[in-house]
Chain A
Amino acid sequence: MADQTNNGTNKKPRTLSLDAWAVAIALLLAALVRLGVLKHVAW
């Protein structure tokens, strides 16, 4: 969560935080599984 330490003094271009990326990718994978694109993920 290092991205959360920015106190606003040094302006950086807006980018997605690590958490947002993790949630976005997880939701994308869940959607692919739900839609049947990823039919069976083996372990």
Chain B
Amino acid sequence: MSSSSIALRAEPLQWPRKIVALLPGVVLLVLVGMVGKVLEKSIAAYTKAHHIVFPNIEYVLWAIVVGLLISNTVGVPAWFRPGVATYEFWLKTGIVLLGARFLLGDVLKLGSVSLVLVLIELALSIAFMTLLGRIFKLSPKLTSLLAVGSSICGVSAIIATKGAIDADDEDASFAIAAILALGALALFTFPPIGHWLGMSDHMYGLWAGTGVDNTAEAVAAGALYSDAAAKIAVLAKTTRNAMIGFVVLGYALYWAAREGRQAVGSKAAFLWQKFPKFVLGFLLISLLASLSVFSKDQIGSLANLSRWAFLLTFAGVGLRINFREMKKQGLRPFIVGALGEIVIAAITLGLVLGASKLVKL
């Protein structure tokens, strides 16, 4: 049989094959997430039955820890990886569905507070990361990628900027590794700091949404604190994500001018291309909920569907963390990223505490 006839025959099978290829990884996400849920309930029931004082560890942390253990011990076999990578799809689906829990008026009110904080955070983060990159003599494009990754939305922003400024694959993987390592660290540091400072769900959610880089980790950091904090973290992070087009456009224009290349064509088309469309889905569902399209029970069902989608996301976050891979990327970008993240976390914490004095949070 000739290769062309194989190709022709293979064409109609492409979609079923793609779906079959995703199945093992998706099943793994479900299993890891369910283990997280079962562990939370079993440990809570056991400690209660035996009168043991033990803090309730949420399924979010268990799902991440179980995923992390798998990834760093037996590893994730290649045939699971396409399905595991769907965690970003589940994250976005969960965020859109979460829109049902927000009335549009609340979105505009909270969104405007978040927007002000995000704009200040963006300016300070980009300036600080650029300065750090120069002090540590990182390549200018790697510095740009780290600045974008830590100021807006982690991996997505780095990938979008990489294409726009024509950066090397190596620089992009350095920046992504640093952002992922620091996002993982934030999961274990943000909640205790929030509790230590006695932050309200609202204040903590705003901090997680503006201070943690990658969307999945920001949502997880919020959910580790409380359900209400996760809701606010999603809104703040979504506001931050909506800024991606403007920042990437700024960098594209800067690098085009610096390298004497032609800048992007239509700026409006560029902004639309980079705009995260799931934000529109979130606003649409929020609008429908505000117009009372859904009953109270139906909103409860949509919120639960969103929780299921996030459960798969948290499992994926753990399964994606691989310390050996991160170690291969070297220390310098990680140190720059870590220093930047600590300062950005402090800046965003200061902004949220400051805003809480001006606006009721």
Contacts and interface: CB of A to CB of B under 8 A. Distances in A.
Interface string A32-43: 011000111111
Interface in A1-43: 1-2, 4-7, 17-23, 25-27, 29-30, 33-34, 38-43
B277 A23 contact: yes
A27 B301 contact: no
Contacts of A42: 304
- Report whether over half of chain B's contact residues are helix, strand or loop; otherwise say mixed: helix
Given A4-B163, A41-B304, 7 more contacts: A1-B160, A1-B244, A18-B88, A19-B92, A41-B300, A43-B307, A43-B308
Interface in B243-289: 244, 273-274, 276-278, 280-281, 284-285, 288
26 contacts: A1-B244, A2-B156, A4-B160, A4-B163, A5-B159, A5-B162, A6-B163, A17-B277, A18-B89, A19-B276, A19-B278, A21-B89, A22-B89, A22-B93, A22-B96, A22-B281, A27-B281, A29-B93, A30-B285, A30-B288, A30-B302, A34-B294, A39-B301, A41-B301, A41-B308, A43-B304
A40 B297 contact: yes
Interface of A is mostly: helix
Contacts of B293: 34
Interface in B307-355: 307-308
A23 B96 contact: yes
B305 interface: yes
B212 interface: no
A42 B308 CA distance: 10
Contacts, number: 88
Contacts of A21: 89
B243 to A, nearest CB: 13
A30 to B, nearest CB: 6
B189 interface: no
Interface of B: 88-89, 92-93, 95-97, 100, 156, 159-160, 162-164, 244, 273-274, 276-278, 280-281, 284-285, 288, 293-294, 297-298, 300-302, 304-305, 307-308
A33 B305 contact: yes
Contacts of B297: 40
B100 A4 contact: no
B110 to A, nearest CB: 20
A39 B305 CA distance: 12
Contacts of B294: 30, 33-34
A29 B159 contact: no
B59 to A, nearest CB: 10
A2 to B, nearest CB: 5
Max chain B C-beta neighbours (<10 A), residue from A7, A26, A30, A38: A26
A10 B273 CA distance: 16
Given A25-B93, A26-B96, A40-B301, A7 B163 contact: yes
What 8 A-B pairs come out closest when comparing CB atoms?
A23-B281, A22-B92, A5-B163, A26-B96, A19-B277, A1-B156, A41-B301, A43-B304
B158 to A, nearest CB: 10
B311 to A, nearest CB: 9
Contacts of B301: 33, 38-41
A43 B274 CA distance: 34
A38 B305 CA distance: 10
Nearest to B274: A4
B60 to A, nearest CB: 13
Given A33-B298, A42-B304, A18 B92 contact: yes
Contacts of B88: 18
